[in-house]
């Protein structure tokens, strides 16, 4: 028997139940937020890389001694690794059919992104606070 549609609930009311995943649009929204943040941040990074390409170690160090540069770089790193693990998750979920393998890949991708993000942030802080 087909259950009766819930006529007394609005479309919005049903969406607010968030479905079986209980997270609704969280993943989608996080991906868009980081995407928008990364437009200026990544262009800033490209400009930094171009200006640091021939500056040597001293130039690199003095660039990140500037607290504004260190802050923007860390903001870029947090946004880019968050964006990367969200994107990797979507691609893995679409192309890895086996459930166990998919879960292992998604978790591995997330752990790897967190590990890389922390090493990058620590590296920037080390350079920023050194001498």
CB of 19 to another protein, least distance (A): 20
Provide the minimum distance between the beta carbon of 77 and another protein in the complex, in angstroms, as a whole number.
Answer: 8
Asked if 15 interacts with another protein (CB under 8 A), we say no
Minimum gap (Å) between residue 47 Cβ and another protein: 9
**Chain residues 103-122 in contact with another protein, contact rule CB under 8 A:** 116, 119-120, 122
Radius of gyration of the chain (CA): 21
Q: Pick out residues in 57-76 that bind another protein (CB under 8 A).
A: 57, 60-61
Distance CA 38, CA 42 (A): 5
CB atoms within 10 A of CB 98: 9
3: DSSP letter? P
Quick one: which H or E segment has residue 119? Answer: helix 99-129
User: 33: how many CB neighbours lie within 10 A of its CB?
Assistant: 13
Q: Which is nearer to another protein, 7 or 46 (CB)?
A: 46
Q: Kindly state whether residue 127 participates in binding another protein, applying the rule CB under 8 A.
A: yes
Residue among 24, 25, 21, 117 at smallest CA distance from 78: 117
Q: Do residues 54 and 12 lie in contact, with contact meaning Cβ atoms separated by under 8 Å?
A: no
| Minimum distance from residue 8 beta carbon to another protein (Å) | 29
Which stretches of the chain bind another protein, using CB under 8 A? 32, 35-36, 39, 42, 46, 50, 53, 56-57, 60-61, 80-81, 84, 87-88, 91, 116, 119-120, 122-124, 126-127
């Amino acid at each position: 028997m087909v259950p009766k549609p819930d006529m007394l609930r609005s479309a919005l009311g049903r969406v607010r139940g968030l479905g079986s995943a209980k997270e609704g649009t969280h993943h989608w929204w996080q991906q868009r937020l980081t995407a928008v943040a990364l437009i200026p941040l990544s262009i800033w990074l490209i400009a930094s890389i171009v200006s640091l390409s021939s500056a040597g170690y001293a130039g690199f160090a003095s660039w990140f001694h500037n607290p504004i540069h260190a802050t923007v770089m860390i903001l870029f790193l947090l946004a880019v690794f968050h964006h990367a693990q969200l994107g990797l998750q979507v691609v893995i979920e679409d192309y890895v059919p086996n459930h166990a393998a998919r879960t292992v890949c998604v978790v591995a991708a997330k752990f790897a992104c967190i590990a890389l993000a922390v090493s990058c942030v620590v590296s920037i802080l080390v350079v920023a606070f050194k001498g």
